[in-house]
């Protein structure tokens, strides 16, 4: 290699984060000991199934850190000056991810033994390596935190109805199972109601689906305002809602249901611009937990009572 080429290579090495503050004589030593290799786009640099004994510093080109799973999703992108393989060199383990050349790359290869000799000659390399690892750890923590945040969002969306902001059927079924188990152990009473908005299909046909959405939001708000803190309610599906009354028998539940029926009837419905829309009424079916009943049978009992309320003329409560 010509002297000018050596100087150019050493100058390039000196700009890499790993070699910040490294004396010139050590950089010459690195130039003599470390090989520069070319890899082509798509070529694998690191693989969790193969042992790794070197650090690879990207001189030119780009690489991808990929999920080692079947999907091979890109987790991060590496560019000029960044390195890979340091973790498996330090701990002697397998690479934790797959690294693939995203483009044709030129790499400076530092073998494991060479790295330890280099650190002995220039301890500043250890500091630079720690900075690299710290930066990577910080990034990994940010990814984990974002993943946890998204997990909470998904969990919320899986249990909350987006239109009304109420819990959904999945959440209600889980809650009702727990309440039934608790009441069976404690001997407490438990009642539920199933509410259906009267003639909701006709309302949608006459006023439009957006108006129907506004009507459902008004019903949900009327229920929220009319229930006790200990009561729970959810949108069961379509125009149906279910409320759970722990510690309440059928007689007391009927009084609550009548108040809620009247609240729905009186609650104003407005469109998204605030203009008034026709109000709605609701039919309600009540059921109380009986010995040996499970969630499905209790819901079936409330559903049967709801149909009795509808058949009796709607806008009423039935047991």
Task: Report helix, strand or coil for 267.
Answer: coil
CA–CA dist 307, 198 (Å, integer): 11
Place of tokens 């009992």: 301
Task: Determine if the pTM surpasses 0.75.
Answer: no
- 3-state DSSP assignment of residue 141: helix
Task: Give the residue among 298, 227, 306 at the shortest CA–CA distance from 264.
Answer: 227
Share of the chain above pLDDT 90, in %: 51
Taking only the tens place, the pLDDT of each residue in 221-247 is: 999 999 888 888 999 989 999 999 999
CATH fold group of domain 3-153: Jelly Rolls (2.60.120)
Average confidence (pLDDT) over 153-168:
79
Q: Give me the residue spans of the domains in the chain.
A: 3-153, 169-312
Q: Which one from 239, 240, 290, 319 is the annotated catalytic residue?
A: 239
CATH level 3 topology of 169-312 = Alpha-Beta Plaits (3.30.70)
Distance CA 300, CA 313 (A): 20
Residues 6+ apart with CB under 8 A from 116: none
| Residues making up the chain, counted from first to last | 319
pLDDT for 306: 96
The residue ranking higher by pLDDT, 142 or 25, is 25
Q: How far apart are CA 248 and CA 250, in angstroms?
A: 7
In angstroms, rounded to a whole number, what is the distance separating the alpha carbons of residues 156 and 69?
27
Q: What is the pLDDT of residues 93-126, one digit of tens each?
A: 888 888 999 999 999 999 999 989 988 888 888 8
d(CA 319, CA 254): 8
Model confidence at 143: pLDDT above 80 = no
Place 268 in a pLDDT band, splitting at 50, 70 and 90. Answer: very high
Residue identified by tokens 């469109």 is: 271
Helix (H) or strand (E) holding 66: strand 63-66
Is 35 part of the annotated catalytic residue set? no
Q: Residue 215: its pLDDT value, please? A: 96
List all residues 6 or more positions away from 313 whose beta carbon is below 8 Å from its beta carbon: none
Residue 189 and residue 291: Cα distance in Å, rounded?
10
Buried b (16+ CB within 10 A) or exposed e, 188-225: ebbbbbbbbbbbbeebbeebeeebbebbbbbbbbbbee
**Is the pLDDT assigned to residue 2 strictly greater than 60?**
no
Give the tokens for residue 287.
Answer: 């059921």
For 44-48, the CB contacts below 8 A with 24+ separation are: 44/98, 44/99, 44/100, 44/101, 45/84, 45/85, 45/99, 45/100, 45/101, 45/107, 46/84, 46/85, 46/88, 46/95, 46/97, 46/98, 46/99, 47/95, 47/98, 48/94, 48/95, 48/96, 48/97, 48/98
């Amino acid at each position: 290699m010509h002297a000018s080429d050596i100087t150019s290579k050493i100058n390039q090495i000196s700009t890499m984060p790993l070699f910040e503050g490294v004396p010139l004589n050590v950089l010459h030593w690195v130039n003599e000991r470390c090989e520069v290799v070319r890899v082509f786009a798509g070529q694998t640099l690191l693989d969790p199934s193969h042992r790794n004994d070197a650090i690879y510093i990207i001189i030119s080109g780009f690489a991808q850190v990929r999920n080692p799973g079947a999907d091979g999703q890109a987790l991060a992108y590496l560019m000029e000056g960044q390195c890979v393989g340091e973790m498996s060199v330090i701990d002697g383990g397998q690479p934790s991810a797959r690294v693939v050349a995203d483009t044709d790359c030129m790499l400076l290869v530092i073998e494991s033994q060479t790295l330890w000799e280099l650190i002995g000659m220039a301890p500043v390399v250890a500091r630079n390596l720690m900075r690299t690892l710290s930066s990577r750890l910080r990034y990994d923590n940010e990814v984990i935190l974002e993943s946890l945040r998204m997990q909470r969002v998904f969990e919320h969306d899986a249990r909350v109805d987006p239109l009304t902001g109420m819990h959904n059927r999945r959440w209600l079924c889980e809650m009702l199972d727990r309440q039934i188990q608790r009441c069976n152990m404690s001997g407490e009473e438990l009642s539920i109601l199933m509410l259906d908005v009267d003639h909701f299909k006709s309302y949608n046909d006459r006023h439009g689906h957006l108006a129907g959405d506004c009507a459902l939001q008004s019903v949900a708000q009327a229920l929220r305002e009319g229930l006790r803190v200990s009561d729970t309610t959810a949108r069961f599906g379509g125009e149906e809602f279910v409320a759970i009354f722990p510690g309440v028998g059928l007689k007391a539940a009927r009084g609550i249901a009548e108040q809620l029926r009247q609240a729905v009837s009186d609650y104003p419905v407005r469109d998204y611009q605030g203009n008034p829309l026709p109000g709605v009424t609701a039919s309600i079916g009540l059921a109380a937990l009986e010995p040996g009943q499970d969630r499905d049978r209790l819901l079936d009992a409330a559903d049967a009572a709801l149909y009795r309320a509808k058949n009796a003329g709607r806008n009423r409560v039935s047991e």
